[in-house]
Structures are given as structure tokens and as C-alpha cells.
Amino acid sequence: MVSLAFNSPLRHATTLLEGDRIALDSFQVCALRHREIKEKEAFTIVDGAGDYFRASLKVLKKSSGEALVYERMATSTESPAEITLLCAVLARQRMLVVVQKATELGVARVVPVISERSVQRDGLEHEKAHAWPKQALRAARQCRRASLPEVREPIELISALEDRCFTEADLRVYLDDRSSRQSALDNTATESKGARRRIVFAVGPEGGWSDQERAMLDARGASPLTLGGRVLRAETAVFAGLTLLQHAYGDM
């Protein structure tokens, strides 16, 4: 199993300048290999002052390498909000798009969930579940992220609700177009942007969460989020909800 430390932003101990040629240590080399970065390809690195740079990999050996720093990025590529997406497994291979776009929208992890109305375990091979982590990797490279989101193995909803990423979250939100309760983001105007850092966003399959699943989410402190009166496709709801959360608590 690959260490999740390789998903974290690559860091350089000292302050960097455009034009610097830097040596890479064995950990950085392993992390670049984990990200499938080849010689002459670009990657994002953070210097000792916390600034983000683009660098081109020049030399990659077994346990060392060299890179050329060529561009200072205007801002951080990483959101201050640590968002976990719990997404019921969608049919017709739409999880590939969900993982890709969720990565671009800055999530920290994706937890595919087996729910009452989702694709079940015997259908995961058809949905190309093995390809989801690679999809996140390609999306992270495309949008210049310094980190890779964790893409977990699919688990049942009850197990996801007992996981630390859910139980220790500062804010738990689930999509529910039938709720009459106050929407989870109604009071964000009075809160400091970025004040909540650990957020869970749970999105059900086509047809939504069942009544029992909604009760489970309510009982564990999750608040409903509504997205207007239109019926959205599940993947559209994922992107809309993540955008709202990043606007309220993250970097959008």
C-alpha cells in the first residue's frame, strides 16, 4: 500500500526563486514516481516560506533527482477547507467524472459509498472502480494541485458514517432536495471564511438517499443542503455542492 504521505504537497526546506535548480531527496523522488511524473514534466512544489512554485523535473534517479524552478504561482493551490466527499457510487461510469471534477474542486478525499439505491459491489468492476485513483492523479496534474486527494475503496454508508473523517468533521452536510429544514449554508454569511476546516459532504445516487439513510445522517449530526427546486443529476449536484462549500469555507 502506498503511503498517503506521498499525496501531501511536495516541500523544499528553503526559500525558492525562479531559475533555481534544486536537488530532490529520496522521499521527493518516491512522491514524484507515485504521481507518475517523468523527466521534463512539470510539478508543483512549496518552499520554506509557504510559496507555491512550478518546477520541471530534469533528472530522476533511483533515490535522487534535480528540478528547475521556473514559475512562482500567485496563490496556494490547496483549499483551507479539508473537504471529504462521500458519494454514492453512480452508474454508467459517472464516478470517473465525479472523481476528476472533485479533484479539480479541491477535495481532500473521495469516499465512494454503497447505499440502498447506488451501484452495488457486484457492479463495481463494470464502473471501473480500479481507475478512480488514476483519474484523481491525472486531474491533480492538470489543475496544478500540489497534493493528491485520497480515493478510498468503496464502503457501505453505515461504515462511512463511523469513520473518523465523518465523526471528527467540523461540519457534516448531506444533499437532500426534500428537506424542509434550514439549509446547511444559510448562516455562512455570519461566519469567518475558512473558519471550519474539516467538512464532509455526502451526496446520494440518482433517486437520492432513502428515508432510513436520511435518518441515519440526521442522527449523526449532518445537516441537509438543498440546491433549489430543479432536479439535478447526481454528478451535477456534487459539483454544485462542492462549489458552494468552497465558496463558503474554502478558496472560491
Domain extent, residue 102, equals: 82-249
Residues 32 and 157 both lie in one domain: no
Distance, in Å, from the CA atom of 1 to the CA atom of 98, rounded to the nearest integer, reads: 24
Residues 86 and 26 both lie in one domain: no
What pLDDT is attached to residue 106? 98
**Beta-sheet strand order (sheet of 65-72):** 10-11, 42-46, 52-60, 65-72, 21-24
Task: Give me the CATH number covering residue 106.
Answer: 3.40.1280.10
Q: Is the pLDDT of residue 188 over 60?
A: no
End residue of a domain, out of 20, 44, 72? 72
End residue of a domain, out of 41, 72, 103? 72
pLDDT band, very low/low/confident/very high, at 190 (cuts 50, 70, 90):
very low
Could you read off the pLDDT of 15-56 as tens digits, one per residue? 999 999 999 999 999 999 999 999 999 999 999 999 999 999
21 located within any domain: yes
User: Could you tell me what percent of the chain has a pLDDT over 90?
Assistant: 88
Contacts of 223 (CB under 8 A, 6+ apart): 171, 172, 173, 174, 181, 183, 184
Q: Name the residue with higher pLDDT: 227 or 100.
A: 100
Count of structural domains, the chain: 2
Task: Please state, rounded to an integer, the average pLDDT across all residues of the chain.
Answer: 93
